Amino acid sequence: MNKKVKFEDLGLIDYKKCWDYQEDLFSGILKVKSKNRKENTINPTNNYLLFCEHPHVYTLGKSGDEKNLLVNEEYLKSRGATFHKINRGGDITYHGPGQIVGYPILDLENFFTDIHKYLRFLEEAVILTLSDYGLSAERSKGETGVWFDVGTPNARKICALGVKNSRWVSMHGFAFNVNSDLSYFGNIVPCGIIDKKVTSLKKELGQEMDITEVKNKLKTHLVRLFEIEII
């Protein structure tokens, strides 16, 4: 098993450009796995972890409802935002500057073949990062992501998850609101959930955060949880 992971921080990058890059990496891993099966070989597969931020964009998962986008294309243009239907799970979400978007493109056969565990580890990395800042976050039963004050009228989400998996290779991932402009969430029903709010690390702590510092803490927790070696 190859637990080495190539890490890249892509900075602010167009959503479609990053999606195409993900697809290339994802397809490359699948090709190696297919060759191994056909030729009965054991060539190692690569793993990747991408961090980035996107310009304002809304993405709708394959099981999502387009009605959860509450504005038209003309309004999106006026806010400098775009819209994409994509091949991950989940409903609609927003990405924008000040948000850490993480795309683990992993051959899970190098780690463990358990999608439930994979999602919980992604959530746990964010929960531990928030704990580093003195915040107590949690999971919400039946809903993916990371939340505050679950089960109360003030329940609010700080991190959304939406992944794709094929032959144990993952892509897409999580969106962690750090310094996000939360007004953009007002244009959607986030993740299709009508009765809960969204929040950010900046809002919870009342100050602009050093996003590089947050990324480093988050990466450290991912490394420990998945027992990976960053290259």
Residues carrying an active site annotation: 191
What gap in Å lies between CA 92 and CA 218, rounded to an integer?
Answer: 24
Helices 211-226 and 115-132: angle between axes, nearest 10 degrees:
140
The string of DSSP codes covering 93-135 is EEE-TTEEEEEEE-BGGGT-S-HHHHHHHHHHHHHHHHHHTT-
Determine contact, residues 90/115, Cβ cutoff 8 Å.
no
The string of DSSP codes covering 3-33 is -EEEEEEEEE--HHHHHHHHHHHHHHHHHHH
What gap in Å lies between CA 173 and CA 168, rounded to an integer?
Answer: 14
User: 8 has which bridge partners?
Assistant: 50
Bridge pairing between strands 138-140 and 169-177: unpaired
Q: Two tokens at 49?
A: 């972890």
Q: Two tokens at 64?
A: 């999502």
